[in-house]
Amino acid sequence: DAKTTQPTSMDCAEGRAANLPCNHSTISGNEYVYWYRQIHSQGPQYIIHGLKNNETNEMASLIITEDRKSSTLILPHATLRDTAVYYCIVRVLGGTSYGKLTFGQGTILTVHP
Amino acid sequence: AAGVIQSPRHLIKEKRETATLKCYPIPRHDTVYWYQQGPGQDPQFLISFYEKMQSDKGSIPDRFSAQQFSDYHSELNMSSLELGDSALYFCASSLGRGLNTEAFFGQGTRLTVV
């Protein structure tokens, strides 16, 4: 599976943009980047995903570099309720994988007043 | 909108007992994933099913088995429970198993083995 690397933790002030980076230098051409978050023992929540183009939805924006070796999740106006563990996942198809989502160490984002 | 339903939400079992966890996917979703999350750990993939057939297999112990039924709900059967099986168990569902399909998670079952 393509490995991802994320900062262990980040802080953000309420109302400011939160930019969460992710490195995935071994990503293959047909593999998607997914972002999930988990708020204190709740089920992981889907945020956004993309292949190579930047994506935006009501929750966040995903910026993928042209070489696809890294990406950034942007929460435009962070609130206290955005405090969570954020997981960057590269979804793999091939070998023995039919697209399972493999969670690695995510980023603990703390939004403070 | 309908979400993934897991039951029960909490379960307490004794060592060596068996447990069955149930997952009801979002309507029309044909793919189900099971995850285990121990205290302070990240979710670990156990197994998945697509159209009632096993799809991916992860670090699922031999004591555990799972299946997906004709109505697409899934059950995770756990036997000879050990203290280390105490964890949150999440189920997720998606429409199809391709790379461009979002998977949505349920709220989990908290299993405590005493």
| Tens of pLDDT, residue by residue, chain B (114 residues) | 789 999 999 999 999 999 999 999 999 999 999 999 999 999 999 999 999 999 999 999 999 999 999 999 999 999 999 999 999 999 999 998 877 889 999 999 999 999
Query: DSSP string of A16-56?
Result: S-EEEEEE-TT--TTPEEEEEEE-TTSPPEEEEEESSS-EE
Token readout for A32 is 């998607």
Cross-chain CB nearest to A43 (options B44, B102, B108):
B108
* Interface with B, mutate which of A5, A53, A97 (most B CBs under 10 A): A97
Chain B residues touching residue A89 (CB < 8 angstroms): none
Cross-chain CB nearest to A93 (options B58, B99, B107):
B99
Chain A residues with a Cβ under 8 Å from any Cβ in chain B: 30-32, 36, 38, 41-46, 49, 51, 87, 91-93, 96-106
* Three-state SS at A81: helix
Cα–Cα dist B9/B74, whole Å: 15
Tell me which H or E stretch contains A73: strand A70-75
Write the CA distances from B82 to B22, B23, B35, B62, integer angstroms.
19, 22, 17, 13
For chain A, say whether B108 makes contact (Cβ under 8 Å). yes
Per-residue pLDDT tens over the stretch A12-58: 999 999 999 999 999 988 889 999 999 988 999 999 999 998 999 99
Token readout for B58 is 């992860």
Token readout for B51 is 């159209």
Contact A63, A12 (CB under 8 A): no
